[in-house]
A = this chain, B = another copy of it.
Amino acid sequence: MEMKTMVDEEINMHEEMRRAFALLSGKWKLEIMWLLNQRVYRFGELRKAIPGITQHMLTVQLRELEADGLLSRTIFAEVPPRVEYEITQKARGLGPTMEALTAWWREYGKSVPIKPSARGRKSKIA
C-alpha cells in the first residue's frame, strides 16, 4: 500500500481542474459569468456591457456556456423578441469565486501596470 502525499492530491486535483479551466478560458467567458452572477441579462444588455465583443462572438460564447450547463437561455415569445440569460444553479456556486476575484482586484488592481503585456522584460538573474 502506498501513502498518498499532499503533492499527489494536488496533481490529481489539477487533472480534474483542467476541465474547469476549459469551461472558463474562453476569451470573454469570465466576464460574461461575472456579469450573470449579478443578475439576469438580455442579449443586447450584454453586448452593451462588454465593449469590444462582437455580436457573433457573444452568440458563440453564450452558446458554449449554455451547452456546458453554466447558464440558461430563455426565449420569450413576444414582439419584439426577448431572450434572457441566467446563471444556472451549478454556476451559482461560482459566486464565492467571483467575489474573491473582485476583492483581489479591489486590493491589488491599482498596483498592476496598465498595458504592459508582451513588452517589459525584468527577469531576475540568480
Interface residues of A (CB under 8 A from B): 10, 13-14, 16-21, 23-31, 34-35, 38, 49, 60, 63-64, 66-70, 72-77, 83, 90-91, 93-94, 96-97, 99-105, 107-109, 111-113, 116-126
Contacts and interface: CB of A to CB of B under 8 A. Distances in A.
A35 B101 CA distance: 17
A14 B45 CA distance: 13
Contact of A67 (B24, B25, B73, B113): B113
Main secondary structure of the interface of A (DSSP, over half): helix
Nearest to A105: B20
27 contacts: A10-B38, A14-B35, A16-B105, A16-B109, A17-B31, A17-B34, A17-B105, A20-B104, A21-B34, A25-B30, A25-B31, A63-B118, A66-B122, A67-B113, A67-B117, A67-B120, A68-B116, A69-B112, A69-B113, A69-B116, A72-B124, A73-B124, A75-B125, A83-B123, A90-B108, A93-B104, A97-B101
Contact of A13 (B91, B102, B116, B118): B102
A120 B14 CA distance: 27
A29 B30 CA distance: 12
Contact of A118 (B24, B64, B103): B64
